[in-house]
Copies of this chain bind each other. A is one copy, B any other.
């Protein structure tokens, strides 16, 4: 059992909280049982090391330890102090994994013939970004695209707020927005800017063909130069006195509206 919270290994894992270290090493941390379980289940080939306290190893014997052993992953028993020294969150519930990033390209996503995508531009809040990934997963989106100006998807807070969905669908990061929009159009994917300025209300939007929702910043929405590059600007109707919905809610409502149309055969609204 690893018990020294000042060891080089603990320092190395903890250093993955820094974006620069994640970029240099191509690794990131997953904290907590939900995320780790999904990583083991859907991305075992990328899990480098698993760290569990004895209590967590007993508690998650069936859904983490057994499948991790079956996949011949490196399991390390650690003290609670060691785990606390590695983790960003206060309560990772005794479970942490170091996982290899798997950089995906937009080209690979487009080659698979996607029908429903979402592109995050300038999304800065980790909780919002993670919740959109979770919502995109639940709505059955084919991938999530993330601009280079958005929050780092591999930061601990984002990883945690995806609740494991990060390992359920492809997430392409580091995209330059203008180039991504051009690539989408070239491959027949309509781009729908979700923005309060849109003259098309969501219930009237044509969601029958392959399309990509384009989401802007939490506070200031999408800049005009991005909106004009999209095929259509669509607003989620605000019926009451609320000023707006938060970004994650707006994205999830749009994605679920799309899922409803695409799964009914794409024939109606």
Contacts and interface: CB of A to CB of B under 8 A. Distances in A.
Interface in A242-257: 242-246, 248-249, 252-253, 256
Interface stretch (A1-9, A46-54, A77-85, A136-144): A136-144
Interface string A165-203: 100110000000000000000000000000000000001
B243 A164 contact: yes
Copies of this chain, tallied across the complex: 2
A245 B240 contact: no
Interface centre among A38, A136, A246, A263 (most CB of B within 10 A): A246
Contacts of A223: none
Contacts of A226: none
A231 B249 CA distance: 27
Residues of A in contact with B, size category: 35 or more
Given A138-B238, A168-B242, A237-B259, 20 more contacts: A131-B246, A131-B249, A134-B245, A136-B240, A137-B240, A137-B241, A137-B242, A138-B236, A140-B239, A141-B240, A163-B242, A164-B243, A165-B241, A165-B242, A169-B241, A203-B263, A203-B264, A236-B256, A239-B259, A256-B256
